[in-house]
Amino acid sequence: MILSADRCVSYDLYAVKIGGVVEPFVALVVVTAVAWGIAVRTGRTRREVLALALRWGVGVMFAMTGVSHFVGMRADLVAMVPDWAPAPGLLVTLTGVLELAGAAGMLVRALVPWAGLGLSALLVALFPANVHLALTGDDLAWWDELVPRTFMQGVFLAATVTVTALGFAARRRGPTARPAPVDTARLAP
């Protein structure tokens, strides 16, 4: 594996570009879909399946983005901070810690609505940095342009708001009874 100046990690026959919003978007979609596929087989209600799948998707996505604040993309993220914001390095560190805390919160059912609320607020607070990059960045990839980036941020926000709403709704309902597993051996003649 070779890490070059343009952050392109190359493995013998292919290259993967690190950075941007595409990887978190793909992580959110793929992990949510896989978690959905697993959770749907557990006898949970559709609402519970959606909540669990989104928790995992949001958690993995923010774990990825949180780590990128410290490894691999730190310089790019510091450069994204608008000029009017104070201490760009400190802000990137703080938001990275908050993203990792939010990702960890997705693992604890009691913390899910609060973690989702915090991550939703963080997405709204960080949106100006995304707009700043889209409007002032040079030689941007298509996904870093304003419209695709805004769309993906909207998807991220929809996921965190949905996790938050489902988490608070589950707290109001309390624990739900799950159907007992079917003993297929007893059903056979």
Taking residues 115-122, what's their average pLDDT?
96
Q: Letter for the amino acid at 6?
A: D
Taking residues 124-138, what's their average pLDDT?
82
Average pLDDT score over the chain: 81
Which range has the worst mean pLDDT, 25-34, 71-80, 90-99, 113-122?
Answer: 71-80
List of residues 6+ apart from 55 with CB closer than 8 A: 35, 106, 107, 112, 163
For residue 84, what are its two tokens? 């009017």
> What residues does each domain of the chain span?
20-175
Q: Letter for the amino acid at 87?
A: A
Which range has the worst mean pLDDT, 12-21, 48-57, 107-116?
Answer: 12-21
Give backbone dihedrals phi and psi of 174, rounded to 5 degrees, phi first: 80, -175
Taking the C-alpha atoms of residue 123 and residue 138, their distance in angstroms, rounded to an integer, is 23
- pLDDT tens per residue, range 45-90: 999 999 999 999 999 999 999 999 999 889 988 888 888 888 999 9
